[in-house]
Amino acid sequence: MRVQVAIIGSGPAGLLLGQLLTNAGIDNVILDRVGKDYILGRVRAGVLEDGTVRLLDEAGASARLHAEGLQHGGFSLAFDGRNHRIDLAGMTGKKVTVYGQTEVTRDLMQERERSGAKTIYEADNVNVHDFGSTSPYTTYEHGGKTRRIDCDFIAGCDGFHGVSRRSVPESAISTYERAYPFGWLGVLAEVPPVANELIYANHARGFALCSMRSMTRSRYYVQCPLDDKVEAWSDERFWDELRRRLPLENAEAVTPGPSFEKSIAPLRSFVAEPMRFGGLFLAGDAAHIVPPTGAKGLNLAASDVHYLFEGLHEYYADRSMAGLDAYSQRALQRVWKAVRFSWSMTMMMHRFPDTGAFGQKIQEAELDYLVHSRAAATALAENYVGLPF
């Protein structure tokens, strides 16, 4: 098989890039090592920046998002027993849309199927070859046979553990990482959310987040030790702990119920540089990871896709390499700003092992300054709704 662009990974980044390319008449194929049902079974965050929504519009995969997504013009920072609302719309003129990543993935899959573009699931032993030359190609095993796809370019959208970044020689890549000494215990339940907007809570017992997928499905998190076991957290224990970390008005509004998904996720900040290696381009989690505190993971993947698609479209329309040559620098400038924001939110909202009484007072002073300074609150709002791309 020969295509213009081979895409490794059928998560949101790979599917979004594939649909934009297909709509522009650029032939592409997507490979993934797992099946469609497995991909749709993964539960991820779902706070979408305005720029991400615009890209989904461009891809033709946003009808259900606009019908079912929840537009939020603000969120609350909870500390010292009170809520302090950050007015996103008033300070930036923009809102965010709450819409689950699983639903974004489903919409993109359906649009790809409607367009007739090819996706190969359960492709074993996917490998990328000769991406330093003008004739890159990928190989994979399917149906008991080894198969080859020749292409002009390879887009590595296969996540943190994927083959794309691992195929780059160590001497050609630099990585930067910060692992955080705690995790997030997350619960998904068919109960109404505690509030109409998200609540980020800083508490002496640890961080908590009240989020939602709809007005009948809630997503909640509490900070927990990395060595905690999910089995040790009954639903009753979780709801009790969540209430302890929220202001009284929110604690009383919590509607407990049986969880249908419960997991503990570690937190890390990670960036790989550069994001281009000849004909191989990294995008999304293959190149960077952010803690979920700032809701940037999926949105960063979307901005990577924006820059990469622009470069590929320019190449096939005008035979110019300018956009592709600039891809890594353009993407990384935005990546590092989002990494900084997610890191700062994580540092401000969580209890670290060495926080102590002094550190807690500093956090409280920072939060108090932030909510009482319009300049500081505006900077927070600008980053939360998403820097332009």
Domains and CATH numbers, the chain: 5-69+99-176+268-346 (3.50.50.60), 180-267+352-385 (3.30.9.10)
> Can you give the pLDDT at residue 360?
86
Mean pLDDT of 246-255: 97
292 annotated active-site: yes
Class of residue 364 by CB neighbours under 10 A (exposed 0-12, middle 13-18, buried 19+): middle
Class of residue 108 by CB neighbours under 10 A (exposed 0-12, middle 13-18, buried 19+): buried
266 annotated active-site: no
Cα gap 275→272, rounded to integer Å: 7
> Can you give the pLDDT at residue 43?
67
Catalytic site residue from 292, 306, 307, 315? 292
pLDDT of 44 > 80? The answer is no
Mean pLDDT of 104-118: 96
> Can you give the pLDDT at residue 143?
86
Whether the Cβ atoms of residue 201 and residue 79 lie closer than 8 Å to each other: yes
> Can you give the pLDDT at residue 38?
86
200 annotated active-site: yes
Q: What pTM was estimated for this model as a whole?
A: 0.95
Cα gap 270→178, rounded to integer Å: 6
Q: What is the pLDDT of residues 160-173, one digit of tens each?
A: 999 999 999 999 99
145 annotated active-site: no
Cα gap 147→99, rounded to integer Å: 37
Catalytic site residue from 99, 137, 200, 315? 200
CA nearest neighbour of 386 among 23, 52, 16, 10: 52
Question: What proportion of the chain, given as a percentage, has pLDDT over 70?
Answer: 99
Catalytic site residue from 203, 288, 296, 350? 296
Quick one: pLDDT band at residue 39, thresholds 50, 70, 90?
confident
Q: What is the pLDDT of residues 12-35, one digit of tens each?
A: 999 999 999 999 999 999 999 998
